[in-house]
A and B are shown apart, each in its own frame.
Chain A
Amino acid sequence: MQWEAVIGLEIHAQLATKSKIFSGASTAYGAAPNTQACAVDLGLPGVLPVLNEEVVRMAARFGLATHSTVAPRSVFARKNYFYPDLPKGYQISQYELPIVHTGYLDIELDDGETKRIGITRAHLEEDAGKSLHEGFHGVTGIDLNRAGTPLLEIVSEPDLRSAKEAVAYMKKLHSLVRYLEICDGNMQEGSFRCDANVSIRRKGEHRFGTRAEIKNINSFRFVERAINFEIERQIEVLESGGAVVQETRLYDANKDETRSMRTKEEANDYRYFPDPDLLPVEIDEAFIEAVRSSLPELPDAKKARFMQQYGLSAYDAGVLTASREMADYYEAVVEASKVDGKLAANWVMGELSAALNKDGIEVEASPIDAAALAGLLVRINDNTISGKIAKTVFEAMWAGEGDADAVIEAKGLKQITDTGAIEQMIREVIEANPEQVEQYRSGKDKLFGFFVGQVMKASKGKANPGEVNKLLKQLLDE
């Protein structure tokens, strides 16, 4: 039996505002419990919400960047349910009229194809607080610092067909919200988290199967694993003659499995209704135009430009534009060094990325800044050093031993381009290896590499490889 998965994601992106969505309290992460919760966040009797205008601007940025409609009128609604870390007994969200709807995001699949994923809607809402169950004897602690933090909930169409596609979509969104500077994307702190709706159906079937919703997955890896587990689970259920139950499930990363939290029958009736404490959000054309004109170059446009302007492959351009910081770094290197775009790309994606990954550093905090890397590339380009020596120089620069010229000078790594000196070294190698010379001259061409190696060794890697090749050929053929 051939099965097809149908997946839709709901992503909660925490908007990077200084203050909360309906109060003036700070949104900074990690403060002592309840020190960043004011009267409004505590839901004291009599308090009222006032909308933070910045969240509207951020939602509009997102809407424009995803080719969505930014609604001229959207309405906040109350989602009513009781929970100890939900101070008012309702969450202020948007229900029937969200601020953003009907857009899309293009993702690249492994085979290089582009797939368009529909965005159903994105709505504004407030986050709840946190219930703390550990470290309190027999009681639960409530921390309301997070209560009222602004969220943009981004709901996709059920257009995703595999866990890999889901991850590609999520990564693309993650990159986009950071480009837009509306979310810091910090997944450990919960600034970007995901619920996945998963169902399966027979290949060729048009109707959707019954779905399960997997809640609160907070890493790309877990999203992939949770969805794959869930697909397998549903296939097993159906193939053994059972039926999938509509329910909410939780992904347990330790056990790598999903398990049931509550079924549809146990679900709350949220009794949504328009919040009478807030006016409808009305957005006019002038506001949208102002937001549009403030948008940065977005990943897809930047990628296309990189391919054209720097002659990069789609793959290279995609990697370099995955984050705005990386793209900016790359462009600064090319700008400062004037070297070939491909050479710069190789170094940024190769040595630099490897070193950043190894030390767990973000590109903006790289010990070798764009100007310094440009300095190194200039020396490769003008034949002061070879590519191979450049790696040694890079390591020294990474370790803080100075800029490229200082390292080359201090370590005496300057490339030997003087043909006289190189010729001298070649003659010495030829003299020292009469047998190999004999064999080479009698037709064993493969030995050419051996001589190159010997000469480079003799020069401690500093001889210009091009010159070595040219002269060696001449002298061996004499």
Chain B
Amino acid sequence: MHTKTLAELARGLRDRSFSSEELTRHYLERIKRFDGELNGFITLCEDTALAQAREADIQLSSGRPGPLTGIPFAHKDIFCTDGVRTSCGSRMLDNFIAPYDATVTARFKQAGAVMLGKTNMDEFAMGSSNETSWYGPVRNPWDRDTVPGGSSGGSAAVVAARLAPAATGTDTGGSIRQPAALCGITGLKPTYGRVSRYGMIAFASSLDQAGPMAASAEDAALLLQAMAGFDPRDSTCVDRPVDDYSAGLNNELKGLRIGLPKEYFGAGLDAGTAKAVEAAIEELKKLGAEPVEISLPNAGLAVPTYYVVAPAECSSNLSRFDGVRFGYRCENPRDLEDLYKRSRGEGFGPEVKRRIMIGTYALSAGYYDAYYLKAQQARHLIADDFKAAFEKVDVIAGPTAPNVAFRLGEKVDDPVTMYLSDVFTIAVNLAGLPGMSIPAGFVEELPVGLQLIGNYFDEARLLNVAHRYQQVTDWHTRIPKGFE
């Protein structure tokens, strides 16, 4: 069952070939069997999942099931889930049972999907290797000594290992696309404002965006259909109609102009990864796409800009974790200052503290203009580069990450090298564009991701390109050894 696509599973459920409860039990058993070594889940919701599955079965037999009715999925532990612990990968929220549902959570409930559990992630989504989690690192199912990428590392690993047919992720600087690439799955970060952020614990509000992680573009389209749409509770959510993401999947690519930014194929890109990405572009050419060399002259500004903007916003967003109303509180505080200092000192891990400090510094009197304001200006330049590019091309393609999965512990003590893992993904968040990663081959048995970047609200076109590519390749159907 776990090798089927979401569409196939949905058909099986409607045909009564199997029930949602059987399907859910199948995945729960796989999780119990395999997740001990992967550590992809923080919280498993066995009882509620089975209850949801039984409800779905009633609807499947009597009501009008939707495309996700009875389909199990894994939810990144950054989305608030009413009555279920929502830890955000942090000791700070280890005891936090969310009293409400995030909009994305509510939409999946409404669609009748079955939540298997909450997946592991870098603490507060800050990391590119899933090593900053309070709950320990996630292992990459393709090689258990390597990282799955981050911050949505748990979601990527469990989908790759087929412990869940699909998962949610969030992406602030590459947190869906980079782990999707490193784990050989399909992940899409929508246009900023396409999916509600309400109830998704904020890292950097102007960059955060939720999206689907699945085995294929076809599956991702089904998930995105459930997630996308206006939400009056999120002022930055855009009120515009949602496309039918499945309708155009098979559109021809003839004449599609694919931009290849020269800045994405230069120094810093691993040779094997480059080869795989170039081969993928050849495939697209065969499908009728026309490559166009383009330039994103300010691409080099992306990482430094991001590491001012994101920490600045996070330093403020994470102020609410003060030990007063919820979350971790230190033992026996002497006074208010002691309560703050020790609750935050003990509740947050080192990467989170590093970013809070960077952000606090960047916003301080006397430094604001030089850092925060400058970064905002650079952000405009980066967005303008893309704007100019999309006058010449329909889609931009390149590598998702500069390397395949690296070894656990390899970069954990070198934050700057770690930050460069997102060198190709970050600019997309700064510009607010949709971006996607799809499996495009292997280097030494580790997956390579092809990144596709679209114009604003052009998710349907990205899914179309990805789907056509997946019709002529089989990278996305491969399952890591031992998980078949």
Interface set of A (CB-CB < 8 Å, partner B): 39, 42-51, 78, 80, 82, 84, 87-90, 142, 269, 271-273, 276-279
Q: Which residues of B have CB within 8 Å of A44?
A: 80, 98-100, 326
Contact of B368 among A42, A47, A273 (CB under 8 A): A273
In contact, B236 and A279 (Cβ under 8 angstroms): yes
Q: Which residues of B have CB within 8 Å of A273?
A: 312, 316, 363, 368, 372
Q: How far is the CB of B95 from chain A (nearest CB, A)?
A: 12
How many angstroms between the C-alpha atoms of A80 and B364 in the bound complex? 10
In contact, B372 and A278 (Cβ under 8 angstroms): no
In contact, B320 and A276 (Cβ under 8 angstroms): no
**Which residues in chain B, 187-221, are within 8 Å of chain A measured between CB atoms?**
197-202, 204-206
In contact, B363 and A42 (Cβ under 8 angstroms): no
Q: Which residues of A have CB within 8 Å of B205?
A: 276-277
Q: Which residues of A have CB within 8 Å of B322?
A: 82, 84, 89
Q: Which residues of A have CB within 8 Å of B232?
A: 50
How many angstroms between the C-alpha atoms of A435 and B98 in the bound complex? 100
Contact of A80 among B99, B233, B363 (CB under 8 A): B363
Q: Given A48-B197, A50-B232, A88-B319, are A271 and B364 also a contact pair (CB < 8 Å)?
A: yes
How many angstroms between the C-alpha atoms of A42 and B96 in the bound complex? 14
In contact, A42 and B198 (Cβ under 8 angstroms): no
Q: How far is the CB of A85 from chain B (nearest CB, A)?
A: 9
How many angstroms between the C-alpha atoms of A271 and B93 in the bound complex? 26
In contact, B363 and A45 (Cβ under 8 angstroms): no
Q: Which residues of A have CB within 8 Å of B198?
A: 46-48
Cβ of B102 within 8 Å of any chain A Cβ, yes or no, is: yes
CB-nearest residue of chain B to A78: B316
CB-nearest residue of chain B to A85: B324
**Which residues in chain B, 64-117, are within 8 Å of chain A measured between CB atoms?**
79-80, 86, 88, 93, 96, 98-100, 102
Q: Which residues of A have CB within 8 Å of B15?
A: none
Q: How far is the CB of B364 from chain A (nearest CB, A)?
A: 6
Q: How far is the CB of A140 from chain B (nearest CB, A)?
A: 8
Q: How far is the CB of B197 from chain A (nearest CB, A)?
A: 6
How many angstroms between the C-alpha atoms of A80 and B204 in the bound complex? 15
How many angstroms between the C-alpha atoms of A247 and B53 in the bound complex? 63
In contact, B88 and A45 (Cβ under 8 angstroms): yes
In contact, B233 and A87 (Cβ under 8 angstroms): no
Please list the 3 inter-chain residue pairs (A to B) with the smallest Cβ-Cβ separation, ordered nearest first: A89-B319, A271-B363, A276-B206
Contact of B364 among A43, A89, A269 (CB under 8 A): A269
Instruction: Classify the secondary structure of A's interface with B.
Output: loop
How many angstroms between the C-alpha atoms of A44 and B198 in the bound complex? 11
How many angstroms between the C-alpha atoms of A279 and B239 in the bound complex? 13
How many angstroms between the C-alpha atoms of A50 and B235 in the bound complex? 6
Q: Which residues of B have CB within 8 Å of A272?
A: 363
In contact, A90 and B235 (Cβ under 8 angstroms): no
In contact, B80 and A84 (Cβ under 8 angstroms): no
Cβ of B336 within 8 Å of any chain A Cβ, yes or no, is: yes
How many angstroms between the C-alpha atoms of A271 and B368 in the bound complex? 8
Residue-by-residue, is B49-65 near A (CB-CB < 8 Å gives 1, otherwise 0)?
Answer: 00000000000000000
Q: How far is the CB of B214 from chain A (nearest CB, A)?
A: 24
Cβ of B175 within 8 Å of any chain A Cβ, yes or no, is: no
In contact, B201 and A46 (Cβ under 8 angstroms): yes
**Which residues in chain B, 288-346, are within 8 Å of chain A measured between CB atoms?**
312-313, 315-316, 318-322, 324-327, 336, 340
In contact, B324 and A84 (Cβ under 8 angstroms): yes
How many angstroms between the C-alpha atoms of A277 and B235 in the bound complex? 7
CB-nearest residue of chain B to A81: B319
Q: How far is the CB of B386 from chain A (nearest CB, A)?
A: 20
Q: Which residues of A have CB within 8 Å of B199?
A: 46-47
**Which residues in chain B, 245-276, are within 8 Å of chain A measured between CB atoms?**
none
In contact, A87 and B316 (Cβ under 8 angstroms): no
How many angstroms between the C-alpha atoms of A90 and B233 in the bound complex? 20
Contact of A46 among B80, B204, B312, B315 (CB under 8 A): B80
Interface set of B (CB-CB < 8 Å, partner A): 79-80, 86, 88, 93, 96, 98-100, 102, 197-202, 204-206, 232-236, 312-313, 315-316, 318-322, 324-327, 336, 340, 360, 363-365, 368, 372
Q: How far is the CB of A262 from chain B (nearest CB, A)?
A: 15
Q: How far is the CB of B109 from chain A (nearest CB, A)?
A: 16
Q: Given A44-B100, A271-B363, A276-B313, are A80 and B319 also a contact pair (CB < 8 Å)?
A: yes
In contact, B320 and A43 (Cβ under 8 angstroms): yes
Q: How far is the CB of B316 from chain A (nearest CB, A)?
A: 5
Q: Which residues of A have CB within 8 Å of B320?
A: 43, 45, 87-89
Q: Which residues of A have CB within 8 Å of B201?
A: 45-46
CB-nearest residue of chain A to B231: A48
How many angstroms between the C-alpha atoms of A47 and B324 in the bound complex? 17
How many angstroms between the C-alpha atoms of A273 and B319 in the bound complex? 14
Q: Which residues of B have CB within 8 Å of A42?
A: 325
A39-B100, A88-B320 known, 14 other contacts, Cβ within 8 Å? A45-B86, A45-B96, A46-B80, A46-B98, A46-B102, A48-B235, A50-B235, A84-B322, A84-B336, A89-B320, A90-B316, A142-B324, A269-B364, A269-B365
In contact, A271 and B234 (Cβ under 8 angstroms): no
Q: Which residues of B have CB within 8 Å of A82?
A: 319, 322, 340
How many angstroms between the C-alpha atoms of A17 and B285 in the bound complex? 60
How many angstroms between the C-alpha atoms of A84 and B322 in the bound complex? 8
How many angstroms between the C-alpha atoms of A84 and B319 in the bound complex? 11
**8 A-B pairs with C-beta separation under 8 A:** A45-B86, A45-B201, A48-B236, A80-B319, A87-B324, A89-B320, A271-B316, A276-B313
Q: How far is the CB of A337 from chain B (nearest CB, A)?
A: 53
How many angstroms between the C-alpha atoms of A44 and B82 in the bound complex? 12
Q: Which residues of B have CB within 8 Å of A45?
A: 80, 86, 88, 93, 96, 98, 201-202, 320-321, 326-327
CB-nearest residue of chain B to A38: B100
How many angstroms between the C-alpha atoms of A142 and B96 in the bound complex? 19
CB-nearest residue of chain B to A43: B320
In contact, B324 and A48 (Cβ under 8 angstroms): no
In contact, A87 and B325 (Cβ under 8 angstroms): yes
CB-nearest residue of chain A to B373: A273
Contact of B316 among A47, A51, A80 (CB under 8 A): A80
How many angstroms between the C-alpha atoms of A430 and B351 in the bound complex? 108
Most chain B beta-carbon neighbours within 10 Å: one of A46, A47, A142, A273: A46
In contact, B99 and A271 (Cβ under 8 angstroms): no
Q: How far is the CB of B148 from chain A (nearest CB, A)?
A: 24
Q: Which residues of A have CB within 8 Å of B204?
A: 276
How many angstroms between the C-alpha atoms of A48 and B233 in the bound complex? 7
In contact, B235 and A89 (Cβ under 8 angstroms): no
Most chain B beta-carbon neighbours within 10 Å: one of A50, A142, A271: A271
Q: Which residues of B have CB within 8 Å of A87?
A: 320, 324-325
Q: Which residues of A have CB within 8 Å of B368?
A: 271, 273
Q: How far is the CB of B196 from chain A (nearest CB, A)?
A: 9
Q: Which residues of A have CB within 8 Å of B79?
A: 46
How many angstroms between the C-alpha atoms of A271 and B312 in the bound complex? 10
How many angstroms between the C-alpha atoms of A87 and B326 in the bound complex? 10
Q: Which residues of A have CB within 8 Å of B318?
A: 89
How many angstroms between the C-alpha atoms of A90 and B321 in the bound complex? 12
CB-nearest residue of chain B to A40: B233
Q: Which residues of A have CB within 8 Å of B202?
A: 45-46, 277
Contact of A90 among B93, B206, B319 (CB under 8 A): B319
Q: How far is the CB of B205 from chain A (nearest CB, A)?
A: 4
Q: Which residues of A have CB within 8 Å of B88?
A: 45
Q: Which residues of A have CB within 8 Å of B360?
A: 271
